[in-house]
Amino acid sequence: MFITLNDWKGIVVDIDAIPEEWDSKWELLPEIGKKKILLCGINKERLKKIKSNGEALLISEETPFEPLLFYHKAYAHILELLGSKSAQTVVITGSRGALKQAQNCGISSIFYCKEEEIPAELITMLPDHIAQSWEDIEKIIGQECAGYLAERRVQRYANQQKDQDTLMRTIQTELEIDETHTCPLIAAGRYFSQNDPRAYGHQLSKRVLLHKWEDTAQTEIFTEIYREIIKSAAWESIDAITRIPPKDSRQFDRFAEITKAIAADTSAEDLSDSLICVKKYGSQRTLNRAEREANVQGAFEMKKRVDGKQIVLLDDILTSGSTAQEAAKQLYVAGAKKVTVVVLAIKQDINRFLEDALQPIRCRKCGGEMQLRINRTTQEAFFGCRELYNKEAPCTYIESYQKGLERRNLDAGFFHEQEDRYLF
Ligand SMILES: [Zn+2]
């Protein structure tokens, strides 16, 4: 759950938001005998037809909610029907509202999006998987699909495993620059900030931070990932490459080796010397979107004309996008024909479920606080004692995710008691 699909027992299918051609295929999914599938939707005729073909399938005919998956409360019924806990459940949907509610309930998600590009409003609440076709669904459910490219590459690199994964996704969307310009944005994974429980054990988030702190050990794997993204996009049509410049020219440029290596590999020119930072802007961390825009306005300058050129602009984490937008703007001002922003990861919002999960529970051993964490190897969630890092008396007590949730009443029963304030 959260990051990969672990030990799932039930699938919820939002038929209103997926293609009708898939209706006859659900019962053919691998391992269907051991797991349960619940189909939900407002189209009663369609549900009836599916039911007549698939005896093993559950249908949500008697639900009082329409459309079911937009209702926070409905998930308690869903989990009851499936006989699975939220962490063992996955929702397949193509609707933003249903995706959001699934995430708010701690349920894994597969988002169906036929197009290569995903809606820009989803980039800070990315699903666990993106599927573009039925074949993708089969691969994801069959655990063959690996997820986001950078997350998998880095995970494998950390575990010194060989890459065997198929179907690795990048996130493609568009950034608005000004009235006349937009630029494609390609990202290769998700970034979880340090107060996000998903960050614990998430190799990509950890390494991106180390890289920011001038740890050059990350250069090799990051160069590989950037190279792979650029290659899959449009390797031949790129004229030049550059990056978000360091705030001060005397400061370490963490992209210097990367742009150099990629330029050497292709005929692309390395424009890093020409795009410079001319304003010492403060940290963006605590600012909102409008403040971020104002903060970086006029921060960059392009010293050279780049008329008609197609340029790749690198950054590591995309937060609000305002830094990348401002730099891309300068490249357009200098005559660029097309600027493509390539980032390793997009910062993810902390959803309501994670916010609740962040409330600590008492440790049964030392009386300290326990926190939700994700296992580094299996990516499974658990509660661990905060006193683990206490030098004098480290406490190694852990509790399973379900047990911890039950103690806090955060699972199914909890939703019954909530008012409808999360409905939309
Ligand atoms: Zn403890």
352-391 pLDDT per residue, tens: 878 777 777 899 999 999 888 877 666 677 889 989 888 8
At residue 412, the pLDDT reads 44
**C-alpha distances in angstroms, 405 versus 71, 206, 382?**
21, 26, 10
Q: Quick check: 119 pLDDT over 50?
A: yes
Cβ atoms of residues 32 and 156 within 8 Å: no
User: Each residue of 295-306: b (16+ CB within 10 Å) or e?
Assistant: bbeebbbbeeeb
**C-alpha distances in angstroms, 98 versus 1, 40, 235, 265, 339?**
17, 11, 36, 43, 33
At residue 393, the pLDDT reads 87
Distance 14 CA to ligand 1 centre (A): 41
Q: pLDDT band for position 257 (50/70/90)? A: very high
| pLDDT tens per residue across span 205-222 | 999 999 988 888 999 999
At residue 289, the pLDDT reads 80
Q: 375 in the Ramachandran plot: left (φ > 0), alpha (ψ -120 to 50) or beta?
A: beta
Distance 158 CA to ligand 1 centre (A): 28
Q: pLDDT band for position 414 (50/70/90)? A: very low
Cβ atoms of residues 275 and 309 within 8 Å: no
Distance 197 CA to ligand 1 centre (A): 18
Quick one: DSSP state of residue 221?
A: H
Structure tokens at 134: 């039925």
Q: Quick check: 317 pLDDT over 90?
A: yes
Amino acid present at 332:
Y
The fraction of the chain above a pLDDT of 90, given in percent, is: 36
Distance 4 CA to ligand 1 centre (A): 27
Determine which of 58-72, 159-173, 340-354, 399-413 has the lowest per-residue pLDDT on average.
58-72
Cβ atoms of residues 86 and 411 within 8 Å: yes
Distance 359 CA to ligand 1 centre (A): 15
Q: Quick check: 422 pLDDT over 50?
A: no
Q: Which residue, 240, 252, 237, 258, is CA-closest to 344?
A: 258
At residue 308, the pLDDT reads 95
Q: Quick check: 4 pLDDT over 70?
A: no
Distance 393 CA to ligand 1 centre (A): 9
Q: pLDDT band for position 26 (50/70/90)? A: confident
Distance 209 CA to ligand 1 centre (A): 28
Distance 361 CA to ligand 1 centre (A): 10
At residue 416, the pLDDT reads 41
186 vs 339: CA distance, rounded Å:
11
Q: What is the mean pLDDT of residues 294-304?
A: 91
Q: pLDDT band for position 348 (50/70/90)? A: very high
Q: What is the mean pLDDT of residues 223-246?
A: 88
Q: pLDDT band for position 139 (50/70/90)? A: confident
At residue 379, the pLDDT reads 65
At residue 64, the pLDDT reads 46
Distance 408 CA to ligand 1 centre (A): 17
Q: Quick check: 284 pLDDT over 60?
A: yes
Distance 239 CA to ligand 1 centre (A): 56
Q: Domains in the chain, start-ordered, CATH in brackets? A: 10-143 (3.40.50.1000), 171-347 (3.40.50.2020), 359-417 (no CATH)
The fraction of the chain above a pLDDT of 70, given in percent, is: 86
Mean pLDDT, the chain, integer: 83
Q: What is the mean pLDDT of residues 164-184?
A: 85
Distance 395 CA to ligand 1 centre (A): 5
Q: Quick check: 406 pLDDT over 80?
A: no
Identify the residue with better confidence: 35 or 32: 35
50 vs 67: CA distance, rounded Å:
18
Q: Quick check: 167 pLDDT over 80?
A: no
Determine which of 42-56, 107-121, 264-278, 279-293 has the lowest per-residue pLDDT on average.
42-56
Distance 388 CA to ligand 1 centre (A): 7
Q: pLDDT band for position 138 (50/70/90)? A: confident
At residue 312, the pLDDT reads 96
At residue 187, the pLDDT reads 94
Distance 324 CA to ligand 1 centre (A): 43
Distance 414 CA to ligand 1 centre (A): 26
At residue 163, the pLDDT reads 66
Distance 241 CA to ligand 1 centre (A): 50
Give the pTM.
0.85
Omega into 67 within 30° of 0, i.e. cis? yes
